[in-house]
Amino acid sequence: MNDLLVVRPGPLTTVQDLGRHGVAHLGVPRAGALDRPALLAANRLVGNEPGAAALETTLGGVALRAAEPVVIAVTGAAAPVRVAGRPAAWGAAVAVPAGGLVEVGAATHGVRSYLAVAGGIAVPEQFGSRSADLLSGLGPAPLATGDVLPVGPAARSHPAVDVVPLPAPPTELVLRLRPGPRADWFTAEALAALPRQRYLVASASNRIALRTEGPPLPRARTGELPSEGMVLGAVQVPPDGRPVVFLADHPTTGGYPVVGVVPAADLAAAAQARPGTPVRFVLLRG
């Protein structure tokens, strides 16, 4: 079986697929790629099933050495790619020779690049997924220098002859918000004014949540909400009033009121928004 040796893990590189399903009632987060379309594109480029596991980098890239020849593709955040010492294409299938070094450099814009290998990263599954879950510690730990990642058998079919367009640098993160289930915990004025408020992506953002800096959202009622189930994209408002958008590693239950939910289609952009990026909420009809 082929494998990949981790030469440089980067600041935070994790194994991710489409995540865990059907186990939230046990307190198991969903995990999975934060930029799901980018993972799907990378898998498509190398001829993998959509749910094959790939690597998700964070800002600083990753470097790996392939034991045997392998086909890779890099998508998501734009970043320089080098294979066996030469510049290689971003967003396209690239052949790597035996012993070849694969280097994904620092992201030029965006946050998370996806490196898929034909055959997928074949670490063991837990609850039907190979994803690292940084909230609960399920799945493989973030990559460390010297780790050896098993690669599964590549599909017989030829990879799609295809390229993925390079994303434009985002100047603003626009998140649609469908109010509820606890919009009534906030004043009607606050909710109506939310689209005009200036928020920024906070540096404390991670795989669990995109945190914001900006004016606190005033509550209409005080007190505590009993813990309730949380969905992907839920916008929780903790006591400091700054909206927190739940991403893939979010806790399964939470006790702060959820003012609204961002549709999953908008979360890929959230996954790629760097700290300091302006955030604007657009209200959908509740």
Partner 1 sequence: MPDGILPDELLPDGLQPDGLLLRPVGEDALLVEADSTERVGALYAELLAQRAELPEMAEIVPAARTVLLDGVADRTALARLLAGWTVPARPSATGPLVEVPTVYDGPDLAEVARLWGVSAAEAVRIHTEPEYRVAFCGFAPGFGYLTGLPARYDVPRRATPRSSVPPGSVALAGPYTGVYPRSSPGGWQLIGRTALRLWDTGRDPAALLAPGVRVRFVAVRGMSA
Positions that interact with partner 1 (CB under 8 A): 21-22, 24-28, 126-127, 136-138, 178, 180-181, 184, 226-231, 233-234, 251-254, 258, 261-264, 286
> In terms of CB distance, is 117 or 267 closer to partner 1?
267
Q: Tell me the closest approach of the beta carbon of residue 274 to partner 1, in angstroms.
A: 25
Residue 34 β-bridge partners: none
**CA distances to 48, 73, 79, 189 from 156, in Å:** 10, 17, 29, 58
Tokens coding 157: 């079919």
Amino acid at 148: V
Residue 172 exposed, middle or buried by CB count within 10 Å (0-12, 13-18, 19+): exposed
- Strand boundaries in 79-118, DSSP class E: 81-83, 86-88, 94-96, 101-104, 109-117
> In terms of CB distance, is 102 or 262 closer to partner 1?
262
Q: Tell me the closest approach of the beta carbon of residue 152 to partner 1, in angstroms.
A: 21
> In terms of CB distance, is 24 or 200 closer to partner 1?
24
Q: Tell me the closest approach of the beta carbon of residue 264 to partner 1, in angstroms.
A: 7
**Angle CA 264–20–114, to nearest 5:** 65
Q: How far apart are CA 281 and CA 1, in angstroms?
A: 47
Q: Tell me the closest approach of the beta carbon of residue 229 to partner 1, in angstroms.
A: 3
- How does DSSP assign 196-220, residue by residue? GS-EEE-TT--SSEEEEESS---BS
Q: Tell me the closest approach of the beta carbon of residue 186 to partner 1, in angstroms.
A: 13
> In terms of CB distance, is 10 or 257 closer to partner 1?
257
Residue 284 β-bridge partners: none
> In terms of CB distance, is 31 or 34 closer to partner 1?
31
Q: How far apart are CA 77 and CA 113, in angstroms?
A: 4
> In terms of CB distance, is 252 or 277 closer to partner 1?
252
